[in-house]
Amino acid sequence: MAQLLVLSSAPGGGAVLPALELLSHRVRQIPAEPASLVNAPSADVIFVDARTDLVGAKSLCKILNTTGLDAPLVLVVTEGGLTAVSTDWGIDDVILVTAGPAEVDARVRLAIGRQSAEQPSSRIQTSGITIDESSYSAKVHGKPLDLTYKEFQLLHFFATHPSRVFTREQLLSEVWGYDYFGGTRTVDVHVRRLRAKLGDLEQLIGTVRNVGYRFNVYEDDQLPSASPRS
């Protein structure tokens, strides 16, 4: 079952693409407005409603390509709208509003498959966080985090070892190295700073009393929707 996001100001996601109501995918809808993208939930595929407002949909697609949302963009149009669509929209696919369930499902599968094939192996996505190993950068809900090198290393280590509990000594060894002579207090300080930068997602780094820390994994609907503090 795929996580689908519909961007439309029309009531009900099924009204945009009726065939979605006949499929088992999880569908969420948010207004087709730039302000709604700030806390947009993560999705496997994003459908953009262009049935009645082609100009607005084109502008929204271009904005989407700058927000850090990595899901494929599929434009929903009427037959008459097909002539207006071009490569400069920055979309991955286009589909008619009259498309049947089999076609919609096939396009969803193909879009996800292409995205998986193109996805850089250096990118990690989990619990609202995107970590790019190649650029040593991280984002929360598409917003860049201002991390120091060591904070990035700590977050990366946690994210690549989800739900596993580590003692402060283990974290000191794994992240700082065996030749580091500082005390375990360093770990506490960096965890506190990292939590502060994660803002409303600070609970991703959980404390296990008398043991250490672990990275908690949450489903999208369990995550706070507010934007992180810096």
60 in Cβ contact with 40 (< 8 Å): no
Domain-embedded: residue 85: yes
145 lies in the same domain as 183: yes
**Does 230 reside within a domain?**
no
Q: What is the mean pLDDT of residues 149-172?
A: 94
In this structure, the answer to whether residues 183 and 108 fall within a common structural domain is: no
Mean pLDDT throughout 45-61?
Answer: 94
Query: 81 and 144, same structural domain?
Result: no
| Residue 40 confidence class, pLDDT cut points 50, 70, 90 | confident
Q: State the pLDDT at residue 119.
A: 57
* Residue at a domain's end among 118, 146, 176: 118
pLDDT in tens, 115-155: 776 655 578 888 889 998 888 899 998 889 999 999 999 99
Residue where a domain stops, chosen among 88, 118, 148 = 118
Question: What predicted TM-score, i.e. pTM, was given to this entire model?
Answer: 0.54
CATH code at 68?
A: 3.40.50.2300
Domain boundary among 57, 87, 118: 118
Annotate 150-216 with DSSP letters as a single string.
Answer: HHHHHHHHHHTSTT--EEHHHHIIIII-TT--S-THHHHHHHHHHHHHHGGGGGGEEEETTTEEEE-
Q: Are residues 181 and 80 in the same domain?
A: no
228 inside domain: no
Q: Are residues 7 and 107 in the same domain?
A: yes
Assess if residue 52 is contained within a domain: yes
pLDDT value, residue 118: 62
User: How does pLDDT run across 169-215, given as a tens digit for each residue?
Assistant: 999 989 998 667 778 899 999 999 999 999 999 999 999 999 999 99
Q: How many domains does the chain have?
A: 2
So what's the pLDDT on residue 41? Answer: 82
Rounded to whole angstroms, how far apart are CA atoms 149 and 83?
A: 48
Task: Find the CATH number of the domain harbouring 154.
Answer: 1.10.10.10
Q: Are residues 102 and 129 located together in one domain of the fold?
A: no
Domain that holds residue 18: 3-118
> Within a domain: residue 177?
yes
- Report the pLDDT value the prediction gives residue 211, as an integer from 0 to 100: 94
Same domain for 148 and 106, yes or no, is no
Query: For residue 49, is pLDDT > 70?
Result: yes
Give the percent of the chain with pLDDT over 90: 61
Confidence of residue 222 (pLDDT cuts 50, 70, 90): low
Q: Verify that 54 and 94 share a domain, yes or no.
A: yes
